[in-house]
A and B are shown apart, each in its own frame.
Chain A
């Protein structure tokens, strides 16, 4: 068992290393930091630009492999280099990671839980009004891109705020600048800012998971063990929740790994639209600014997150399904 886990861990480390290197090499050959300086007025002399780019390991006159070597040595020592403005990439990541994680986790939890519950409800009420409404709703939501949803939510929130005359919803940034007040005022303010981005991120997850869960639940509802559970005298609610829902969660958990990539992209779009200064927003801006080191670093974080999500779903899988527990 330990050997199995170790081999798996090694493979994960290798995957992250190759993925990050690939991202660096692609970014270093597709993005041109030199343009940032050449666009300035007055235009700096070539020697000045070269010196600045050399200091940041961004000079396209240095061969790609040499730049990669310098960068990789830094990364092995835990240093992702500098942004093109000369700031530390590590510090920027540390600052922004929490913002992204908060959005990611709330979106995932809210979306997953509500989606699974709605899907299960939909399956239990198959072909009735509830099922039809949930199905139609999830189809509609799945067809709305996150950036359209974000704008619609902002428009809707403005209307609500105007009508009620209160600032119920906040849709820009993660907290109000210069807010004074105690812990509770701060917390309330943060929650207010969290509502809309979470909705825009979670709605898509709810739609996808309710579809998966509905079909998984339908397969299980007709199974013998659910009938047995009822026959031995369990109440309908207990049979459905303890036996049917639990078993039907297993396929949904495997889908979680696949939808996580979608969730990451959704987070990027949501951050950009709602002005959250997270990793996704930084990535989009960095590509625009030809910031090779920043782009590679965000890719590394994304790769690690995807693998951690995969591991987490394996663990949940083992908890739910006694058959895959190794060695008891």
Chain B
């Protein structure tokens, strides 16, 4: 592929879905359903193809920089808005499109589109997420962030007749809007210092002298803002409310990639903009990221274990994994980024498959409550099998991809002090997967007999236009099969792993990025050492899986254990549950606390 073609492709990944959304919107009323489905699926496939082409090109020739309207930098000074596409960004955009394709597959037949604009919104969401992944300008990133939020609000409240959906959407809207303003305040502060908005330009200017309070405050505000969408404690509260009520295809996109894209934003901004100026504070920032990562991972895992509503359980598991990603990013090394990247993709695939299976239960049995569903899963054997496989995959059972991720992740843990962190993460993922497996066994085999505590609404409407679905349509089962198959491939593919490691080394090389963007020069980034899988890592993954199975059985047979356990764990768990009140006014109070804490820590302690 020529450089010219590659340069042209990068804006098309965003332009094509957004144009299709606009064109589709007025016509969907008058054309049959298969037309809008086909348009959406074709868009997703086109974006996958284009992004894979971009990945291939950038891994050979370095980042592609596309200046909108031809406003190229003059004298190494960026004056226009540009897309700076590197392998990591293009790969993420391809993954976004893959999940959108899975969502369209799920909605192909039977799914109640409730009106006509579903596919238009989906395409706008796709365009926004791709733009976010590919942009090279911090304000542009904020705009895509807000477009993502707006599309997410509309899609969560898609079933506008259901009060729960609207309530979830309102919680999402209030928290994420304030998050956007936080990011914007951070951008304003950094612009005041540098007069620049381009990542590379900002990084070059900031690297000239060590960070002062203004730069640290700006970093804190941007990180806090992204962490709200990234569902990191204490900002994660909106996520479980929104996920529990959003339509299944939207859950795929939320849990699978939107949350992780916010964390990608943190990594991108840190490595291109702040890494030069904050090099002396790296240790304190690392402590912050690893600390909140552990806290989030454990809170999410424990809350997941304490749920009986399947989607809410999976949502808390996403919170927990979000914490693991933050801890991995917080290692601030290329190996950490590579581990996080594979981990994000692997988790996204498996979690999406689990959400689709939960959606299939809902459509067949009109409930997402474990206690209601107990034993009914046996009537949908394929779906139940997929759900249980998903649970095992979430624990990291080889050959699934999360296991692959853990290897890299563990490889980053060469520091002895971080061994404890790895232990906490293994514990969190065992509890997480234990919760999923418990619900799967409960639903499929009826063990435990509806004895799980937790909140669940009494009635739940099916997502299908046929409320008494007798058989799950094949498209709704094809989606999880496809996702799990890709997850196996991700776990097995050495080429992919090595590619991700190389991309990660380029990702963390600020000067390489800046030279490519500002003066179009390409030098080779540092070469990645190839981390091989060892027998010991497989052992780690198998023991996490075993721990998850034990925890699942513990949950199912807990009546046979002495009451001592529940009297010890009961009261603190109740406190934790009470924090998740479902009322956004509380969430804003926690957010205020979080923002103040992050800023104070970074400005005072890290100075």
> Are both chains from one complex?
no
Chain A residues packing against B (C-beta within 8 Å)? none
B interface list, Cβ under 8 A from A: none
